[in-house]
Amino acid sequence: MTRANLIKADIWAKVIWADIGRPDLLADDLMENYGIDLKDLLNVRTFLDHNRIWEEPKHISMDRISQSTGAFAHKGKRVSNNLVEDNLVEHFNKWSPYVRNFGLLMIELHTIPPSVTATNLGKTAATAYDATHGFSDQYIVEISVLHKAAAEVGLYPDNQYFKRFPDSNTATVSINLLKGK
């Protein structure tokens, strides 16, 4: 679809297939076919990480007590918030070697606590986002939960570039430049 839209708009671009959950395959493809090291790039993406294909975490943190208020499922079965966070940590861990130097610039969608939504009825799209993403096996977590998961693998938001929309406790979108320290 991306290729078709670019051609239709008369924009030249090289489009390659990749899977958000397999940066190793992207890295191999870039090196083998183009001589480009994924580590030498600023990785940029929009609203993708929450849409990763679910994988049961290989390493389950027995000490994890999720701070997320989200409700999650995979193929109609409830997934605990602890497992969602373990999965997100593993997801970031896969990307960590490739984004440590120049970073991962991401625009991401988030959930917010139900109590915040309830006190802001009609002022946030959180209910719609939670429903549509919940029914389609997507994993939107709060901004703080995303930052905590990234920090567990040594990636931290650069506060100079961090933004949330709206700029309040009802924020359901964030811009982050995650980098290693």
SS3 call for 21: coil
How do residues 88-131 score in pLDDT, each as one tens digit?
999 999 999 999 989 999 999 999 999 999 999 999 999 999 99
Examine the pLDDT at 86 and tell me if it is beyond 90.
yes
**pLDDT, position 142:** 97
The proportion of the chain whose per-residue pLDDT surpasses 90, expressed as a percent, equals 90
- Strands 173-180 and 163-165, by their bridges, are antiparallel
How do residues 49-58 score in pLDDT, each as one tens digit?
999 999 999 9
Examine the pLDDT at 2 and tell me if it is beyond 90.
no
**pLDDT, position 35:** 97
**pLDDT, position 81:** 97
Examine the pLDDT at 1 and tell me if it is beyond 90.
no
How do residues 148-180 score in pLDDT, each as one tens digit?
999 999 999 999 999 999 999 999 999 999 999
Closest C-alpha among 88, 80, 105, 123 to residue 161: 105
Mean pLDDT taken over the chain: 95
Closest C-alpha among 19, 153, 3 to residue 28: 19
**pLDDT, position 110:** 97
How do residues 18-65 score in pLDDT, each as one tens digit?
999 999 999 999 999 999 999 999 999 999 999 999 999 999 999 999
Torsion of CA 173, 177, 178, 180, to 10 degrees: -170
pLDDT band, very low/low/confident/very high, at 13 (cuts 50, 70, 90): confident
Detail the DSSP E strand segments found in 34-170: 43-46, 72-74, 77-79, 104-109, 155-157, 163-165
**pLDDT, position 181:** 81
